[in-house]
Amino acid sequence: MYAIERFEFEDPRFDPHRSKSDYYLDNKLQLTAQELRGKKLVDNPAGGNSATCHIDQVGVDGSHPLFTDFNFMRSACHAIQICGRRKVDKSNDFPAALRVNVDTTDEPLTRKAGEHPVWSERDIDDVAVFLVTLNDDYVLKPKPSH
């Protein structure tokens, strides 16, 4: 079993890291201005604060981030609270067993119904454009030769 685990861990076919974000982290391309604005919002502790759980930096060992905390119910709640597009009702929106997962203590998830959302419509668009950079199978264009 150990041999299979090592093979899957070391063989790049199991972990290709071919997203635009991966190439950015490897300094092979630059993100657009809009993508960078979205990344800054994701990284901002007083804004989205997403990068606290959803790491988007290269690890100290050079490994690429997965950009997930493997907790999808909480993430859905984050998106709703940050964007302000819909009121979150913990007692109705989530099964009783999962309600403890709803983060209401960390900024910016401390917002109450009726308060101004953390992100503007432009911010939401910028973050959405940044999130697209996480999709695998981005085709890296060769640099033009001089």
Amino acid 29: pLDDT? 93
Q: Kindly report, residue by residue over 112-131, the tens digit of the pLDDT.
A: 777 787 888 899 899 889 98
Q: Kindly report, residue by residue over 35-76, the tens digit of the pLDDT.
A: 999 999 988 887 777 777 777 888 888 887 777 655 544 444
Write phi, then psi, for 67 (nearest 5 degrees).
60, 35
For residue 70, which amino acid is it? F
Amino acid 20: pLDDT? 93
3-state SS track over the chain = CHHHHHHHHHCHHHCCCCCHHHHHHCCCCCCCHHHHHHHHHHHCCCCCCHHHCCCCCCCCCCCCCCCCCCCHHHHHHHHHHHHCCCCCCHHHHCCHHHHHHCCCCCCCCCCCCCCCCCCCHHHHHHHHHHHHCCCCCCCCCCCCCC
pTM: 0.68
